[in-house]
Structure 1
Amino acid sequence: MLLNVQELAARGETVRLSESFDATEAVKEVRDVKPLGPLSAELVAEYADGVIDVSGHLACKLQLACSRCLEPIEYDCQVSFQETFKIVPKEVAERGEQDDEDFVPIHGERLDLRPYVEEELLLHLPYALLCREDCKGLCPECGQNLNRGECGCNREKIDPRLMALKDWYDARPN
Structure 2
Amino acid sequence: MKLRLEDITAEAKEITFVEPEMEINRILAQGPVREYHVNAPIGVTVSYYRAGTDLFFAGTLTAQTVATCARCAEDFKASNDRAFRLVMAPKSIGMDGDAGLRADDLEFSLYDGDEIDLGPLVREQLLLALPTRPLCQDDCRGLCPHCGINLNRGECECRSSQPDPRFAVLRSLKIGRN
Give the structure-2-normalised TM-score.
0.77
Spell out, residue by residue over 1:119-160, the C-alpha distance to the aligned partner (whole angstroms, 9 max, x if none): 11111112344333443210111211122233322452132x
CA distance in structure 1 between the partners assigned to 2:58 and 2:71 by the alignment:
35
Runs of 4 or more consecutive aligned structure 1 residues displaced over 3 Å after TM superposition:
127-130, 162-165
Contact 2:35 2:134 in 1 (8 A): no
CA distance in structure 2 between the partners assigned to 1:145 and 1:49 by the alignment:
58
Q: 1:138 aligns with which of 143, 149, 161?
A: 143
Three-state SS of the structure 1 residue aligned to 2:28 is coil
CA distance in structure 1 between the partners assigned to 2:168 and 2:145 by the alignment:
20
1:98-137 correspondence runs (5 A): 98-99=99-100, 100-101=102-103, 102=105, 103-137=108-142
- In the alignment, structure 2 segments of 5+ residues that lack a partner are none
Change (3 A) 1:88 1:135: closer
CA distance in structure 1 between the partners assigned to 2:65 and 2:15 by the alignment:
23
Give the structure-1-normalised TM-score.
0.78
1:11-50 correspondence runs (5 A): 11-20=9-18, 21-22=20-21, 23-28=24-29, 29=31, 30-50=33-53
CA distance in structure 2 between the partners assigned to 1:66 and 1:41 by the alignment:
26
CA distance in structure 2 between the partners assigned to 1:27 and 1:147 by the alignment:
28
Give the aligned partner of residue 158 of structure 1. Answer: 165
Deviates more, 1:125-134 or 1:135-144: 125-134
Spell out, residue by residue over 1:94-140, the C-alpha distance to the aligned partner (whole angstroms, 9 max, x if none): xxx94323421212101112111111111111234433344321011
- Structure 1 residue identity aligned to 2:90: I
CA distance in structure 1 between the partners assigned to 2:143 and 2:65 by the alignment:
23
- Structure 1 residue identity aligned to 2:165: I
Contact 1:39 1:58 in 2 (8 A): yes
Change (3 A) 1:117 1:155: farther
- Structure 2 residue identity aligned to 1:124: A
Give the aligned partner of residue 75 of structure 2. Answer: 72
Give how far 1:62 is off.
Answer: 0.7
CA distance in structure 1 between the partners assigned to 2:25 and 2:57 by the alignment:
24
Three-state SS of the structure 1 residue aligned to 2:57 is strand
Change (3 A) 1:155 1:117: farther
Change (3 A) 1:87 1:134: closer
Q: How many residues align?
A: 161
Spell out, residue by residue over 1:69-118, the C-alpha distance to the aligned partner (whole angstroms, 9 max, x if none): 1222211111102111012428x67xxx9432342121210111211111
Identity %: 29
Contact 2:40 2:64 in 1 (8 A): yes
